[in-house]
Structure formats: C-alpha cells, structure tokens
Structure 1
Amino acid sequence: MAWNVLIVLVTVASMELIATLAHKYIMHGWGWGWHRSHHRPRTGWFELNDLYAVVFAVLAIVLIALGTAGLWPLQWIGAGMTAYGAIYFIVHDGLVHKRWPFRYIPRRGYLKRLYTAHRLHHVVKSREECVSFGFLYSPPVEKLQAVLRNRQAKSASPDAAKDPKGAAPVSPREN
C-alpha cells in the first residue's frame, strides 16, 4: 500500500513537469491551434483548449484500466494523473480563471504567487514570449515581471524602450 501511495505522489509531482513542458512546447508550439482559445476571451462554457484535458483524462483512464487488469503499477500512475487533473481543475480553472463559482482571490503567499504568475502568462496574447508555463509552480513574480519588461523594451515601440518599467506587461488583471 505504501508503494502505491508513493507512486501516486511521485506521479502528481511528475505531472507538473510533464504539464509544464507540454504547455511550453506543445500548447505554445505545434498545438497552438487548440490552445489559442485559452488566450482569448471565452464565449461559452467550453473552449477548444479543453481537449487537452480530455486527452490527459483518456490516458489516465487507459492506465487505470491496464493497471486493474494486472499491469501494476499503471493504475496508480493513472490515479496520480487523475489527482493532478483535479488539483489543476481547482487551481487553474477555479482560482485563476473563475470558470466555476470560486470567487476567492489570494492576497498573499503561495496561492497569490501562483495566481499572479498565471495572470502574467496571459498578458502576452500570442504564443511567443509568454512566461510561467507551470500550473502548480511558478518562478517568483518579480522575475517574471522583469522578463516581460525586458521583452517589451526590446520588441515594442521606441517609447517603450525609453521606459523599461512599461505598465502593460506587469498588470496581471487581464484574462
């Protein structure tokens, strides 16, 4: 039993790395066609980007089925993926994007850092030059703001280059 719990916990932690890499290199790469909807205002309950959750859910279900058919430890890996998906749903869809009636806005600590970092990710509307691709971990907000300021100063108009403190990229209030 202890091995199974350990496998679930290691899988949850590993999923953050896998999700971060998938977000950066797939969703903001060749998979932008689905993910683009997440960087635009949502017009209904669902967005095309939700298909990524379906893909991960199907994979978790297959692993759980194979594991319960005798291929240990696959069901526990699938259970860890499912636990990560539940945490993602609560933190990302609930806390950050308010996709369900979860109106809490963190004012300090880890959740504020996570919330602000993801909002900074959405300040950039294209697939390039975004920051903070993790879902349950983020670099310090000050570092993300500095990266965005530097990018804005390099790529924006001459006025933006004169004012490296440009206000637009450091405001995490946008979707």
Structure 2
Amino acid sequence: MTILAAIGITVATFAFMEFWAWFMHKFVQHGPLWFLHRSHHVRHPHPVERNDLFFLIYGGISAALFITGENGAHWWYWVGVGIAAYGTVYFFVHDVLIHGRLRFWKKSQNTYLRALNMAHKTHHKTTGRDGSAEFGLLWVSPKYFELARKQAESRKNKITSTDLSR
C-alpha cells in the first residue's frame, strides 16, 4: 500500500464518517436506539451516560480493523485509522468543547466553533426523540455561521462603544 493510498483512504473514511454520524444520529439514535441515546438529552449527575456506548462500538470496529489490517498492509487498516481519527475529533469537539465534559476549554470566539455550538444547542432544544434538528457534528448549516458572525459583530460594537464612553 502506498502512502498516498493510505492517506486517501484515511481522509475519505474521515469524511464519510461525518455523513455516517449524521445518518446514525438521525435515524438510529433518535430511532430504535433511543433508549441508549436518551441519556444524552437529559440532565443527569453522572460522568458517564448510556450514550457513551456508541464510542465503544465504533472504537471496537476501529480496533478490529487495526488488528486484522496487519500494520497497514491491508486497506481496511486505514479505514480503521479514519474511524479512530473521526472519533478523536468527535470526542474533543462534542464532549470537550460543546458539552464541557472535561473542563479545560474556555468559550471560544472562533466563528466556526460558535456556529457549531449554536447548531448543537438547537439539537438539544428538545429532550424527546422527535422534533430535533441538526444531527451532524462538523458540518454546520450556513445560517449558524451568519448568526455567529452577527453575534461577534454585536459584541465587538459593544466593546467599541464602551471604550468610547470612557
């Protein structure tokens, strides 16, 4: 396997995982596996929730692909790398940045991260399995970018007007 092919498979898998995560979230987690995902939509004092089982499922798939892929000799090893990379990004973006499950990240002023957070908050407006919107993770609807940009401009204008009044 060439390095270019390995990189291509890894990047393609990572990109596919965004679609797969959206599909699974919308039609499976908010469908037949709601009994696991529900824990993510309700407040609770526990550091772990049933929804975390999805990390174990995808981690297990990725590990199986690593183990049987003979250190990159087979193409599916690189699929496992793409799944693991997406899972890592998912953990940091979703669990650390958005939900603050590890409290070492402060609020960001980055327009993309703020738009992502707004979209996710829209998803969590409903606590039931029906009526949610915005099921993806990394792809954000342009309307949230516009809202985040307007918020940043508004904040900037407030700071400027406060500075001028001193």
TM-score relative to the length of structure 1: 0.77
Q: Unaligned 5+ residue runs, structure 2?
A: 148-166
Indicate whether 1:78 and 2:102 are aligned: no
Q: 1:138, 1:22 → 2: CA distance?
A: 17
Aligned to 1:117: 119
Matched ranges for 1:22-171 at <5 A: 22-68=24-70, 72-141=74-143
| Aligned partner of residue 84 in structure 2, secondary structure | helix
CA drift at 1:71 = 6.5
Q: 1:69, 1:85 → 2: CA distance?
A: 20
Q: 2:98, 2:72 → 1: CA distance?
A: 39
1:50-86 deviations in whole A, cap 9, x for unaligned?
0011101001111111211787101100011000000
Q: Is the 8 A contact 1:113 1:138 kept in 2?
A: yes
Q: Is the 8 A contact 1:117 1:141 kept in 2?
A: no
Give the letter for the 1:102 counterpart.
F
Q: Is the 8 A contact 1:116 1:141 kept in 2?
A: no
1:91-113 deviations in whole A, cap 9, x for unaligned?
00000000002332233411111
Give the letter for the 1:41 counterpart.
R
Higher relative contact order (CA 8 A, sep 6+): 2
Q: 2:56, 2:110 → 1: CA distance?
A: 32
- Of all paired residues, the percent bearing the same amino acid is 35
Q: Is the 8 A contact 2:96 2:103 kept in 1?
A: yes
Aligned to 2:154: none
Change in Cα spacing, 1:60 to 1:107, as seen in structure 2 (3 Å) is same
Q: 1:139, 1:105 → 2: CA distance?
A: 20
Q: Unaligned 5+ residue runs, structure 1?
A: 146-175
- Most deviating of 63-72 and 96-105: 63-72
- Most deviating of 38-47 and 98-107: 98-107
Between Structure 1 and Structure 2, whose CA radius of gyration is higher? 2
Q: Is the 8 A contact 1:37 1:48 kept in 2?
A: yes
